[in-house]
Each structure stands twice: as structure tokens, then as C-alpha cells.
């Protein structure tokens, strides 16, 4: 489900590549792309932090491209926005790195796939960067590997839910420095709110689902999600891509579903649920009281939903 940070020999058995020998900035860039899948140059510089300049990042990306470890597509020709991704060679090299252990295969297999996925992936990365900037200001234990994009969860034999990201953070004000986990869903408001509503229902199904024991009709044991999480992660919706009035109407619709839909209402009674616009998240910070709880009216921090 997510990476396993336990130590492991960094030598990949198939490539013979030793991760610890690579130049530090190149290693950081390959690791960031392996984690986030797609990113533009400025985003990569922000992921790596203030110690890395945009010029240094751009120069090293060009070298990695010549080495056929990364490639890019141009998203907006008029602005020359380059969106970077790992090549098959780069994906093979990073696959065995300890920090990425347990993650699914790298999903970008061609420039065509990169172009198709870029709008949503770059928006999800914007959300991550807003969390990271807030965490750095506060001194929270939230390194860039505390965010796992595209996490798949089984719901029964045929169902599946793919979270845009799973966030792992340790807020400085958390009691006993406990890790707080959250599912993150980023909605760019394409079409109606049906996709967003369906995603909320899918999370309620994941929360309630208990697998059947072999040869039995009745459900046995605890919920399936306990295989991966000690506590069901809170659920955070981040909305963008429309006027503020439209975004707040979508949040109103989520709040209505948290009351009217029986399974979602049951989830809302046990799990913190909240929503925010991406603009508010970027301007005010993730731990500011900008989150609208799906049950209730008082704006809160995401850790206090």
C-alpha cells in the first residue's frame, strides 16, 4: 500500500545500480519523480526545498535527460512548461530503492500517458506542496516521502478505490507525536459533482467493508482497511478548477450527502471529513482554520476536524 522505510541493500538485483553512489541532486530528483510521477521544473525545486535553486534543478534535469533517465513533455508551448517523468530506464533504477519499497510500478509508460495524466497529477502535486510549505514553517515531521500518490484499495472481489494520495504527518502539536493519516482527494470540477459524490460513497464502502471468510456467507473478522491502517484515515477533499461560488456549492453538496446518505452518514459519525479550496489551502496553509467539516459549520485545521 505504501512504502516500507526499513533499511535494505540499495543495489537493485536486476540493474546492478547502486543508489548511494549517484550524485545527490540527481538522486533527489529521481526519487521525487518516482514518488510524484509527474512534475514541472518549479514544482521539483519546491519539493526539494530552499537549498536547491531552480537553475541547478533545471541543469541536472537536462543531464538526466541526456542519460535517458528522465524525459519531458511540453504542456503549454507558449509558456514552455516542461513536465518531467521517469523513462523506463529511470523507473527500473529507482524501483529497488529502500525509500520506495512496496510502492506499485511506476505508472507513466510513455509521453502520451504523461500528457494525459499531467493536468490531474500536477494539481495533486500542488496540494502536496501546500501541505509541505505549511509543515516546513511549523517544523512538523513531514518529509516529502510522507505523501503516497495513487494508493489502491480493494473493496470486495471486484471493487477498487484509488486514493489520489495518502498523507502521513506528525504535527508538532499532536499529543505524543502521533502520526496522523489522511486520504486526499483533489477535484478539478470537471462536469457535475457526480464523480465527487461517487468517491465519497466509495470511501464509505471501504470503511464498512468486511471480507467473507472462505466458505462462509457471513462477513467475518474486522474491516479490511485494518490490514493497512491502525485507524481509518481522515478524508480530505481539495477543490479547484472553478469559480469560488461553484466550489463552495460542491462543498455544500458533500455536506448534504454526509447527512442524507446512510452509509456516508455512518462514516461521518466515526471519521473526520473535511473540504477546502486549493486557493485557500495555498494562501493560508493546511493547519489554518480553512477546512469545512462535512458535519458541522465551524472552520478548522485539517488535524482538528
Locate 288 and state its grid cell: 489554518
pLDDT in tens, 293-305: 999 889 999 989 8
Report CA torsion sign: 250, 256, 258, 264: negative
The string of pLDDT tens digits covering residues 3-53 is 333 333 333 444 444 444 468 999 999 999 999 999 999 999 999 988 889
Domains along the chain? 19-109 (1.10.10.10), 123-304 (3.40.1350)
Separation CA 250–CA 239 (nearest Å)? 8
| Angle at which helices 111-138 and 41-48 cross, to 10° | 30
Which among 153, 173, 301 has a CA at the least distance from the CA of 232? 153
> What is the signed CA dihedral for 47, 53, 58, 60, rounded to 10 degrees?
-90
- pTM value is 0.87
Is beta strand 39-40 parallel, antiparallel or unpaired with respect to 81-86?
antiparallel
User: Between 178 and 213, where is the model more confident?
Assistant: 178
Tell me 175's DSSP state. G
pLDDT at 16: 44
What percentage of the chain exceeds 70 in pLDDT? 83
Amino acid at each position: 500500500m505504501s512504502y516500507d522505510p526499513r533499511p535494505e541493500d540499495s543495489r537493485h538485483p536486476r540493474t546492478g545500480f547502486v543508489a548511494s553512489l549517484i550524485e545527490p541532486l540527481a538522486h533527489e530528483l529521481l526519487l521525487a519523480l518516482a514518488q510524484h510521477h509527474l512534475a514541472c521544473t518549479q514544482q521539483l525545486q519546491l519539493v526539494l526545498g530552499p537549498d536547491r535553486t531552480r537553475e541547478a534543478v533545471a541543469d541536472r534535469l537536462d543531464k538526466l535527460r541526456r542519460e535517458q533517465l528522465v524525459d519531458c513533455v511540453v504542456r503549454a508551448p507558449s509558456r514552455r512548461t516542461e513536465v518531467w517523468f521517469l523513462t523506463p530506464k529511470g523507473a527500473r533504477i529507482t524501483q529497488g530503492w529502500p525509500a520506495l519499497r512496496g510502492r506499485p510500478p511506476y505508472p507513466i509508460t510513455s509521453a502520451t500517458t504523461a500528457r494525459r495524466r499531467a493536468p490531474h497529477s500536477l494539481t495533486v502535486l500542488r496540494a502536496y506542496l501546500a501541505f509541505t510549505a505549511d509543515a516546513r514553517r511549523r517544523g512538523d515531521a513531514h518529509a516529502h516521502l510522507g505523501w503516497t500518490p495513487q494508493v489502491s484499495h480493494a473493496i470486495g472481489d471486484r471493487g477498487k478505490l484509488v486514493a489520489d494520495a495518502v498523507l502521513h504527518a506528525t504535527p508538532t502539536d499532536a499529543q505524543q507525536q502521533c502520526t496522523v493519516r489522511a486520504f486526499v482527494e483533489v477535484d478539478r470540477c470537471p462536469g457535475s459533482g457526480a464523480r465527487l459524490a461517487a468517491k465519497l460513497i466509495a470511501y464509505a464502502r471501504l470503511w464498512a467493508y468486511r471480507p467473507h471468510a472462505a466458505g462462509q456467507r457471513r462477513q467475518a473478522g474486522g474491516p479490511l482497511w485494518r490490514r493497512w491502517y491502525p485507524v481509518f484515515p481522515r478524508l480530505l477533499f481539495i477543490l479547484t478548477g472553478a469559480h469560488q461560488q461553484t466550489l463552495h456549492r460542491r462543498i455544500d453538496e458533500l455536506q448534504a450527502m454526509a447527512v442524507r446518505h446512510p452509509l456516508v452518514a455512518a462514516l461521518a459519525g466515526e471519521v473526520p471529513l473535511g473540504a477546502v479550496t486549493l486557493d485557500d489551502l495555498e494562501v493560508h496553509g493546511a493547519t489554518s482554520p480553512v477546512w469545512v467539516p462535512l458535519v458541522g459549520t465551524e472552520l478548522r485545521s485539517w488535524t482538528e476536524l
